[in-house]
Amino acid sequence: MNDRSTAEGTLFTDQYQLTMAQLYFRLGMHERQAQFDHFFRNYPDYGEHRAGFCVNAGLEWLLDWMEEARFRKQETSLMRGMTSRTGRPLFAEDFLSWLDQHGDFGGISIQAIPEGRVVHAHVPLTVVTGPLALAQILETPLLNILNYQTLIATKAARVRESAGDALVLEFGVRRAHDRGGNAGTRAALIGGADFTSNAGISHALGYPPKGTHAHSLVQAFLAQGMTELDAFQAYADVYPDECLLLVDTIDTLECGVPNAIRVFEKLRQKGYAPVGVRLDSGDLAHLSTRVAQMLDSAGFPSASIVLSDRLDELAIRKIKLQIAQEAARNGLDADSIVRRLVYGVGTRLITSEGDSSLGGVYKLVGLKVKEGWQPTTKVSEEPGKTAIPGNKRVWRIVDSRGLATADLLTLNKEDPAKEWQNCYG
């Protein structure tokens, strides 16, 4: 076991989870059944616009982590070396021995809303039931995995809503926070992205990776005394049926698109259909309109125009609005331009530009005592911070049109009308 596997195993938790677990052990409470609810209080606020929903994500990765994680000799040995401020051992041998024997999450049960579902504030997304000490230790990894993926899936769903039926490509791994890029890519696909440029996670999830080429390809040819056209032709020679050219390395309209068209004409003569061009800088709406005209005039009405460069749901809406305005002024068909657009969304998606974290919390709502389950809650002067105690169920109310209108929280023993859909199945 290496340092990384140790850091990402059961010790991937906050120190106070471990010290609380030992306290429960010392008082004989550690195996008492407890119930924790995971939920969020506020929707992401992106400044210009506040989300009205979230998209649940991360559950499968949480379950995979729980299946693998357990306290082994290496973890308990590291804990044995932890000391208090006075130098005394922080963790007692009997507690460490208990972790060696029972320190896994096999006794934890998870009840959760499925991934990909629209979810709302204050509704328990994940309900954890199990031994108090281990359920407490689970808090930190659960929040880390579920909060981030739900945040990114929500952002992706908003991008999808703005993009309409257009392809959405996730391009963000290079701007992601270390290996969080894999989790973010997965969440983006759950939220509505069609494909990703991330080759590794694409393979793991069963998606074909998608991408174009970088400016450095053209630059490498220029540095050797060759031309942009040479670079484009070389790319087309190697990838004749995947030819999508980045046209803004030098000048999009003066040479980038004309050179791409020259290459496309040669491909057409060989029986290949070019995929299209990519724009990564400048006024994307204006350039899309001009490039669409140039491609149409050259006989390539089906060639896609891939847009990238600081895109998110708000930027996409503005691009589509500007295209509509420019098309109206110039007597063009805005819909035909928009229909050929593909959106490559990177940094602003993978980092959830505008609101970089989801305030999901994990609260103890019940503890099993001799008399049965005892509800419990944290009381706050802020009503929004008071957790709803007890064992609950969530029901989604669907109207006669088949549209969801509200989510209803009830006690687990309550049985609302049959037409209400139990979110937990």
pLDDT digits (tens, 9 = 90+) for 284-305: 999 999 999 999 999 999 999 9
| pLDDT given for residue 424 in this prediction | 67
Which residue in 5, 314, 345, 406 sits closest to 187, CA to CA?
Answer: 345
d(CA 421, CA 425): 8
pLDDT at position 362 over 80: yes
At residue 413, the pLDDT reads: 84
**Total-model pTM:** 0.94
Collect all residues with Cβ–Cβ distance below 8 Å to 219 and sequence separation of at least 6. Answer: 249
Beta bridge pairs of residue 246? 278
Average pLDDT in the chain? 95
pLDDT digits (tens, 9 = 90+) for 271-280: 999 999 999 9
**Long-range CB contacts (within 8 A, 24+) of 404-411:** 404/118, 407/120, 407/123, 409/122, 409/123, 409/124
Residue with tokens 């000799």: 73
**Which neighbouring-strand residues pair with 36?**
128, 364
Q: Which two tokens stand for residue 335?
A: 């819909």
Q: Tell me, what's the pLDDT at 32? A: 98
SS3 21: helix
Domains of the chain: 3-152+357-392 (3.20.140.10), 153-350 (3.20.20.70), 393-425 (no CATH)
- The number of beta carbons lying within 10 Å of the beta carbon of residue 387 is 21
Output the DSSP codes for 27-45: TT-TTSEEEEEEEESS--B
